[in-house]
Amino acid sequence: MKTKSDRIANMPNYPFARWGERVNAARSRGIDVIRLDIGNPDLPPPNPVIDALCSSARQSSHHGYPGYQGIPALREGIAAYYARRFGVELDPTTEVVPLLGSKEGIVHLSLAILDPRDLVLVPDPGYPSYTMGAVLAGAQVHRLPLLPERGYLPDLASIPSDIARRARLLWLNYPNNPTSATADLSFFEQAVAFARKNDILICHDAPYCEVTYDGYTAPSILQVPGASEVTVEFNSLSKTYNMAGWRVGMAVGNSDVLTSLFRVKSNVDSGQFLPVQEAAVRALETPQEWIEERNGIYQTRRKIALAGLAALGWDVVASPATLYLWAQIPAGQDSEGLATKLLNEAGVSVAPGSFFGDVGEGYVRISITSPKERIAEAMERLSHLKL
């Protein structure tokens, strides 16, 4: 009996699912594990969001199939957020698609527009789902190294002309996971020009645009004039409003691409639970002051982690965005081996840089989604290890 398709025969297990098993095994041995490996917000959403969910869930008529396109209020709320936050005008009917979290949209978009043997430009290091979507679609991946000397921006001009002509899709992600790097509008302008020249779709993943510090404001690539002609941007409520488990995301931009994405989604899922949609509408109305206060908590944690890593002698660049610190580990060690040592000997779980691609080797990603006391304890534990 056949138990797997050819399309997944060479697909590895999702790295964080595999790592989660190691964390669970350590805990089963009695180790008190401090998880600094995943970007899983530990703080709650705003109270009005929770109240909206509960109120809607009490309505007996709100438990059936919710429809495929998302309620008009949610699509309008997403468009209003983009207008208010970025000055980007979107048609809520044709240029907004609500998602069950941006991760599913990232993979479904690959299925919607890629054919076998198409070529996809993927950042390395980068979020694994960019590659996994291409693999599921039978496409080929060309990796773009993100190097510290370039501020972790891909060198689009260095892409060979034959590769650029073959490419169908370019993935970008700023503020960046895992490096925490940022990009300005001038880079996005270059990317849009590159896409126009080579007839490539840009997919920009922007879930960390509201997790920022020191007065930094992250832009949307859709602020570039004409960008929507060659771009779809993904966003999410997971990090912005601490709603990772609620699975609310969005794809916005090019209407033709979104039509293809919606065709896949409508054949695969049945839409978001209506009370979640109504709560998401409320979340999108959250005052900026709430976000700033939440970011202040992250910034305190970030300072503790930065001081602890500096005491270890690890090289870390303090970026003004994201939930992460991208730390260069001692020379001669591989990232997964070191992360395993930290887990088993110190009870501190960090993400190996190799999970994000070959160029990520030599680094670990550290998340600040644990209370400041636990982060301080993690740094104290690491200080006693011989690395």
> Rounded to whole angstroms, how far apart are CA atoms 19 and 21?
5
Model's pTM, two decimal places?
A: 0.95
Q: Are 122 and 131 in contact (CB under 8 A)?
A: yes
pLDDT band at 387 (very low <50, low <70, confident <90, very high): confident
CATH architecture type of domain 47-283? 3-Layer(aba) Sandwich (3.40)
**What end-to-end distance do the CA atoms of the chain give, in Å?**
48
Q: Report cis status (omega within 30 of 0) of the bond before 178.
A: yes
pLDDT above 80: residue 11: no
More confident residue, 9 or 218: 218
Q: What is the mean pLDDT of residues 239-256?
A: 96
> Rounded to whole angstroms, how far apart are CA atoms 40 and 367?
8
| Number of Cβ within a 10 Å radius of residue 116 | 9
pLDDT of 84 reads 97
Among 79-93, 229-243, 322-336, the range scoring the smallest mean pLDDT is 322-336
pLDDT above 80: residue 10: no
pLDDT of 182 reads 97
Q: What is the 3-state secondary structure (H, E, C) of the chain?
A: CCCCCHHHHCCCCCHHHHHHHHHHHHHHCCCCCEECCCCCCCCCCCHHHHHHHHHHHCCHHHCCCCCCCCCHHHHHHHHHHHHHHHCCCCCCCCCEEEECCHHHHHHHHHHHHCCCCCEEEEEECCCHHHHHHHHHCCCEEEEEECCHHHCCCCCHHHCCHHHHHHEEEEEECCCCCCCCCCCCHHHHHHHHHHHHHHCCEEEEECCCCCCECCCCCCCCHHHCCCHHHCEEEEEECCCCCCCHHHCCEEEEECHHHHHHHHHHHHHHCCCCCHHHHHHHHHHCCCCHHHHHHHHHHHHHHHHHHHHHHHHHCCEECCCCECCEEEEECCCCCCHHHHHHHHHHHHCEECEEHHHHCHHHCCEEEEECCCCHHHHHHHHHHHHCCCC
Give the whole-number percent of the chain exceeding pLDDT 90: 89
pLDDT above 80: residue 285: yes
Q: What is the mean pLDDT of residues 75-101?
A: 97
**Spatial CA neighbour of 211 closest among 236, 191, 186:** 236
Encoded amino acid at 308, one letter? G
> Rounded to whole angstroms, how far apart are CA atoms 336 and 179?
17
pLDDT above 80: residue 78: yes
pLDDT of 331 reads 86
pLDDT band at 298 (very low <50, low <70, confident <90, very high): very high
pLDDT in tens, 104-138: 999 999 999 999 999 999 999 999 999 999 999 99
pLDDT band at 8 (very low <50, low <70, confident <90, very high): confident
pLDDT above 90: residue 4: no
pLDDT of 67 reads 87
pLDDT in tens, 251-278: 999 999 999 999 999 999 989 999 999 9
Q: What is the mean pLDDT of residues 17-28?
A: 93
pLDDT above 80: residue 9: no
pLDDT of 128 reads 92
pLDDT in tens, 38-50: 999 999 999 999 9
CATH architecture type of domain 6-44+289-383? Alpha-Beta Complex (3.90)
Q: Are 169 and 342 in contact (CB under 8 A)?
A: no
pLDDT above 80: residue 146: yes
Distance of CA 339 to the CA centre of its chain: 21
- The ranges assigned to domains in the chain are 6-44+289-383, 47-283
pLDDT in tens, 147-189: 999 999 999 999 999 999 999 999 999 999 999 999 999 999 9
pLDDT of 104 reads 93
pLDDT of 354 reads 95
pLDDT of 7 reads 79
> Rounded to whole angstroms, how far apart are CA atoms 339 and 20?
13
Q: Are 134 and 122 in contact (CB under 8 A)?
A: yes
**Spatial CA neighbour of 243 closest among 309, 292, 291, 315:** 291
pLDDT above 80: residue 12: no
pLDDT of 328 reads 94
pLDDT of 30 reads 96
